[in-house]
Structure 1
Amino acid sequence: MDRLPQELLDLIAEVVNYEDLEPLRLVNKAFAAAAAPSLFEVIPLWIGNRSLERLTAISKHPQLSQYPKEIFFSPLRFIGYDNDTFYEDKAKVWLEDQPASPSTHACTLGEHMSAYRSYIEAQQLLSSNDLDVKILSRAFSLLSRVQVLHVDYDDTYIGSTELIHAFGTFRARDLLTCSGHHTLPVLLQALAASSLKVKVFELGSDITYTYSSTDCRVGNYSKGASLQRPQQSISEADFSYPDGISILALSRTFCAENFDMCNNAFSGLRKLHVGGIRVTQDDDATLSRIAAALRSLMQCALCIESVTLEEIWLYHHLEAVPQPTMSSVLPHGFNNIKQLDVQYYETTAEFLCDFFGRHRTIVKVDFYSVTITGSNWSTALKQLRTLDLVLLEVFILSFHDSAGHDVQVQDYILKRTDKDPLVEERKQSE
């Protein structure tokens, strides 16, 4: 084993399952060096005790600090109730159904109450004097190779190992929230105060990766079962995920008052991906707040004095309610936009012509279930043919009700053909 070249050990580590990388590092120094790049390439993070300790330790290590390239941040946080009787009552109800003696129940309840109080006290301490901001900003400044920051409020792995260790098999979900009221502003402040310049910022639920138990490299990095997964003794109807990031949290974080902070945080941004915002109701007031929050995010996170932003990805996940308009969230003034991906938005032919006319650097456009209001896509495409989009290479239209068919319309827009591709697609379907 000691005679194997380091290059071969590196290749072995690349095919090892993620959960086996940590034990592999314990074999010897050579395997430790081979497994480290893959093990520490992605850092799962939430504002929890062990998570912050791990982040700090990695950032201060002269070698390990060179490996992280991506950070997955979960806004998971304990709900600070006025008293802890709420949790105690929940725990007692759960324990009554467990096959154990009353004395065992009493010990388990004591352990749970101790863990809950410990986390609440830790949160209060971290919040005082912006200690959580300072810890994160110091670590971010030392992780110079990180280029991607994901804020995934649908993740059910980040923090689960730590909380399962503290609470055992009892599900603490009734105490958890992903609202982001505290955690999202803290993340922005820490990023702005650090020297880290991320190139990719993704905000939303499960934008890039599909998390599953078979995903050995990214998504199963916590090496622990999800806290939100029901135990066998608990029915499906008895569990639910913590709520997603709230509209209020987005509005407070990406608001005009925080423009300078956003400018510092995202001045090196090249890709901005914004996923669907989870809401619990679809009334007009809620939809109006969604549009306002998205507009605030776009105006603050995109209207920066930067020529580096190249890709915008917008996804609205509510299909049964009125869709937000592209004009309400996409400001003008991008200097180097090359790719635009949009799903479940509304727009007009006039806005598209105005936007693409102003941004002739566009190379690729991918629209999924984007609705043209007051007209139709054939009319919009005819108007786009009047533009001189010399750099355009791909323009894809696909629709929710078209069996997943993608229609490439760039040749028609660029006047390489006079046949409307949408009309041709309908003929073939018929």
Structure 2
Amino acid sequence: MEKLPLELKQRICSFLHANPRLLKPIRLVSKEFASAAAPYLIPRLFLFRHPDSCAQVKEIAEHPVFSKYVTTLVVDLSVLKSHDNIESWIEDHTELEYEEVEWSDFEPDGQEYDEYGPVLETCALSNKFHAKCERFYEARQEATRSLQSEYEGNWKAHQDIVRIQASTSFQSFFLETVTHTFRICPNLTNIVISPPVQIQDVIARRTHIFEDILPISASWVRPQDSFPVDFQLEEMLQATNHSLFGLNSLTIIDFPFGCSEKIEIESLKSLTSLKHVRISHNRLNFDPTTKLNLKQEVALRAAHSLETLWVEMPAHIYEHVNANGLLRATDSRSLRDILLSNVCVSENVLVDFLLRHASSLQHLSFGLALSTGSWVSTLRRISRRMEKLERVQLTGITETRESEMVTFSSEWCLKARNFLTKGTELPEPVPYDQFYEFEEERSSNCSSPLRNHILPEDGLWEEYDGEVNSYF
């Protein structure tokens, strides 16, 4: 390519720039090709816990052209499930498909059958039929041996990666890869910590890295493979310290992180420019390692430019997840979008938080439980005081009444929303009635409207935002 005439190279690059899909099967070996391809191919990198993945990310990060276009690093901390024997591995991969040996491929031509079995009128026909049966059984045995050998190879490769992932040396190398990438990619300011969402492009990247041990892509997407307990959030955030800009967005999905007892602000300088935080543990259900214990009140005190804050926890555990400290710590003149789901706060803390950001907040999405106070009082205290409020979503809001948690109906949530946005009357709250709500939702739309399909900001990605905010 470098030896081609300049005019021809310019024409090729112009054509590929206008038709970027054609770049996929082409090996990019020239600066002109790289410049034409980079904006389309690599705005984000995917890093998996595999040596080959670390090498690929490092190669792109050190590329003189490609590195300039990288804006987001998606870090998958998922670990492979260990299997002590091949039988355990096979049991955990019941979805594997293989080609069975069919009798129709061996059956003698024109063979007839009656109610007793094959019709073998002559000795020659009988010998031919039994010879075909023997070949069929041999083929099945050979296919079984071949399949067993293939499975054994997959299992051994699987266990090799398990050992690598558990080694201290690889964990250090993995973190060094994150640090190195953020240090040398000039526009890298966004990090997503997440197992793969079920988007084909995302799954395909992971399947490519682990193709030697995962016969089909579905082998990877299972909850038991997504419990990394050997990394702490502080380690990941320290690895993102950017020499120029700091972090623009932090997205954490289904990562049951551990946390140090003390997090020093000085060690998290990358958070000072943080604008977007999305945290979701929604798919971890009742996993005991799922805790909102990352000391957000410490980390977020450094985020003075925060614009969006989304926190979604598993349903029905809100009484165990107190977000008062999180709201007290958040203080940004730019905050415009807040989503809190399945967490517990007090009325006074929530009201103070909302009024503190009344001049900037535009979007409220709440699925909150009030530990003290009432929703009627909360809504009346903030009514007509939220200057920029454009959209409100209230779904499954709850409060404590006589030591019991009471969830309010979707219809009342709509009226409460209209009270805030349109100044209509606020009636007394109506508890949720499961049978009534089901019938009402079948006949009319009583739920909050879906979030507008607005394209995410630079560095944010719709498939990951959708994992945090089901109304996105």
State the TM-score, normalizing by the size of structure 1: 0.68
* Deviation (angstroms), 1:49: 1.7
2:388 alignment partner in structure 1: 392
Q: Aligned partners of 2:92, 2:279: CA distance in 1, in Å?
A: 39
Distance of aligned partners of 1:375 and 1:128 in 2 relative to their CA distance in 1, 3 Å threshold? closer
Amino acid at match of 2:67: S
2:434 alignment partner in structure 1: none
Distance of aligned partners of 1:57 and 1:311 in 2 relative to their CA distance in 1, 3 Å threshold? same
2:255 alignment partner in structure 1: 245
Amino acid at match of 2:394: S
Q: Aligned partners of 1:5, 1:93: CA distance in 2, in Å?
A: 49
Amino acid at match of 1:73: V
Q: Aligned partners of 1:312, 1:151: CA distance in 2, in Å?
A: 16
Distance of aligned partners of 1:184 and 1:154 in 2 relative to their CA distance in 1, 3 Å threshold? farther
Specify which of 346, 354, 366 is matched with residue 368 of structure 1. Answer: 366
Q: Aligned partners of 2:304, 2:223: CA distance in 1, in Å?
A: 43
Show the 5 A alignment for 1:105-144.
105-124=147-166, 127=169, 130-144=172-186
Counterpart secondary structure, 1:258: coil
Show the 5 A alignment for 1:255-266.
255-260=260-265, 263-266=268-271
Q: Aligned partners of 2:91, 2:445: CA distance in 1, in Å?
A: 60
Counterpart secondary structure, 1:62: coil
Specify which of 280, 303, 306 is matched with residue 275 of structure 1. Answer: 280
- Contact map agreement 2:318 2:342 (CA 8 A) in 1: no
1:180 alignment partner in structure 2: 228
- Contact map agreement 1:47 1:183 (CA 8 A) in 2: no
Show the 5 A alignment for 1:282-297.
286=288, 293-297=291-295
Q: How many residues align?
A: 361
- Contact map agreement 2:16 2:23 (CA 8 A) in 1: no
Q: Aligned partners of 2:93, 2:324: CA distance in 1, in Å?
A: 49
* Deviation (angstroms), 1:126: 6.0
1:51 alignment partner in structure 2: 53
Distance of aligned partners of 1:311 and 1:61 in 2 relative to their CA distance in 1, 3 Å threshold? same
1:222 alignment partner in structure 2: none
Amino acid at match of 2:281: G
* Deviation (angstroms), 1:65: 0.5
Amino acid at match of 1:42: R
* Deviation (angstroms), 1:152: 1.7
Counterpart secondary structure, 1:281: coil
Distance of aligned partners of 1:421 and 1:429 in 2 relative to their CA distance in 1, 3 Å threshold? farther
Distance of aligned partners of 1:3 and 1:52 in 2 relative to their CA distance in 1, 3 Å threshold? closer
Q: Which ranges of structure 1 fall in alignment gaps of 5 or more residues?
A: 205-243
**Residues 289-316 of structure 1 deviation map (CA, whole Å, 9 limit, x = unaligned):** 75xx324341232122x42223211223
Matched, 1:191 2:193: no
**Residues 153-204 of structure 1 deviation map (CA, whole Å, 9 limit, x = unaligned):** 3535252222124443497658963212124555334224876722100112
Distance of aligned partners of 1:361 and 1:126 in 2 relative to their CA distance in 1, 3 Å threshold? farther
* Deviation (angstroms), 1:335: 3.6
2:84 alignment partner in structure 1: 85
* Deviation (angstroms), 1:102: 4.1
* Deviation (angstroms), 1:90: 2.5
Matched, 1:402 2:410: yes
Q: Aligned partners of 2:53, 2:214: CA distance in 1, in Å?
A: 16
Counterpart secondary structure, 2:331: coil
Matched, 1:161 2:208: yes
**Residues 28-87 of structure 1 deviation map (CA, whole Å, 9 limit, x = unaligned):** 9766543321111121111212211110000111101011111222111234x5xx6334
1:342 alignment partner in structure 2: 340
Matched, 1:329 2:376: no
Distance of aligned partners of 1:128 and 1:67 in 2 relative to their CA distance in 1, 3 Å threshold? closer
Instruction: Using the aligned pairs only, state the percent identity.
Output: 13
Q: Which ranges of structure 2 fall in alignment gaps of 5 or more residues?
A: 1-7, 101-139, 397-408, 429-443, 447-472
Amino acid at match of 2:390: V
- Greater gyration radius: 2
Alpha-carbon RMSD across the aligned residues, in angstroms, is: 4.2
- Contact map agreement 1:9 1:30 (CA 8 A) in 2: no
State the TM-score, normalizing by the size of structure 2: 0.63
- Contact map agreement 1:188 1:261 (CA 8 A) in 2: no
1:300 alignment partner in structure 2: 298
